[in-house]
Amino acid sequence: MLTFDIICLAKSTKHGGLCIAGIKTDGSGWLRPISNRRNGTLYAEHYTTRDGREPQLFDIIRIPLIRHQPECHHPENYLIHYSYKWQILGKASLEQVKNLLKPEIKRSSTKPNLLGNFDKQICYEDLQVTPLKSSLAMINPDNLEWEVRYNKQNNKTVRCLFSLCDNFYDLPITDPVWIEKMNYLEEGIFSCKDVIKKLNLENFEADKFRLTISLSEPFQPYYPSQLEYCYKLVASVINVADISKHLGWYR
C-alpha cells in the first residue's frame, strides 16, 4: 500500500461529489486522489475520516493509495485504497508554505501558457498524442476580477477573470465555498476590493488572492462535432491574508 501526505489546495465540485488535490509534503509535486467511480469522483465515504471530519484547504491529509493511475489529461491521479480511512494530521506550517507552495506559485505565474496552452480549454485528442506534464497549478493572477452572470438556463454562474503574463483568462469556478459567497452578489463584474467590501470579508486583502487551477474531465461541447475538450477550472480561491490569520502564520 502506498501512503502520501498532501497539503490540500483544491476541494471542488465534481459530478455530485468532490475533486480533492494537493501538493505532496515530500516535495515531489501534485497528487489528485481518485476513486473507481465515474471520472474518479470522490464521495463522502471516500474522504471522510474515522472521526467524521472531511478535509479542508491547507489540511495535511494522509491518504492510503493503491497505485499511481495517470491519465493523459490528469498525470497526478492516484487510486485510493478503500479499506483504510484518510487521516487529517493538522494544518500546513508556514515553513511548508515557504518551501513547497511559494516555488509552485512562482513557477506557474511566470509563464502565460497555463497548463500547457493559452486558451481556456485543451483538445482531448491532442492530449492523447502528447500527454500533459501537469493538470494542476497554483497561481498569483494579475488584474483579477469576478463575474456573476446568468447562463442560457437562467442559472447564476460565477467566473474568474484574470491575466497571466498579459494573457487573458475567463474561467468557471468550481470552489463551492467561494461560489456560495459570490451568490450573494447581483449580476455584474467586481474588483477584489468590491467583493471584499460587499461581502464583508474581514481578513481578506485585495492583492492576496491565489488560485488553484485544475483541468476538467473530457467533455464534448459542440454538436455534431465529436471532439472532446478538457476545460481549465478555478478549483479553489485562496486569500493568503485570511489563511494566515486563521492559521496563525503572522505570530
CATH number of 70's domain: 2.40.50
CA-only gyration radius of the chain, Å: 18
What average pLDDT does this structure show over 21-25?
98
pLDDT in tens, 173-212: 999 999 999 999 999 999 999 999 999 999 999 999 999 9
pLDDT in tens, 85-120: 999 999 999 999 999 999 999 999 999 999 999 999
* pTM, two decimal places: 0.96
d(CA 108, CA 94): 20
pLDDT (0 to 100) of residue 104: 96
Task: Name the average pLDDT for the chain.
Answer: 95
pLDDT (0 to 100) of residue 251: 47
Number of domains in the chain: 2
Q: Are residues 47 and 111 in the same domain?
A: no
How far separated are the first and last CA of the chain, in Å rounded? 38
Choosing from 94, 122, 137, the residue where a domain stops is 94
Q: Say whether pLDDT at 142 is over 80.
A: yes
pLDDT band at 221 (very low <50, low <70, confident <90, very high): confident
Q: Are residues 138 and 190 in the same domain?
A: yes
Q: Is the dihedral of CA 110, 122, 126, 131 positive or negative?
A: positive
Q: Provide the pairing of β-strand 142-150 with 156-164.
A: antiparallel
Q: Are residues 76 and 132 in the same domain?
A: no
pLDDT band at 250 (very low <50, low <70, confident <90, very high): low
Q: Are residues 150 and 227 in the same domain?
A: yes
Domain hosting residue 30, numbered range: 2-94
Q: Say whether pLDDT at 15 is over 90.
A: no
Q: Is the dihedral of CA 128, 131, 136, 141 positive or negative?
A: negative
In angstroms, how far is CA 225 from the centroid of its own chain? Answer: 29
What average pLDDT does this structure show over 16-39?
96
For residue 38, the 8-state DSSP code is G
Q: Are 2 and 26 in contact (CB under 8 A)?
A: no
What average pLDDT does this structure show over 210-220?
96
Q: Are residues 88 and 107 in the same domain?
A: no
Cis peptide before 224 (omega within 30 of 0): yes
Q: Say whether pLDDT at 146 is over 80.
A: yes
Q: Are residues 71 and 105 in the same domain?
A: no
* DSSP 3-state of 97: helix
d(CA 71, CA 105): 24
Half-sphere exposure in the Cβ direction for 169 (13 Å, CA):
29
* DSSP 3-state of 57: coil
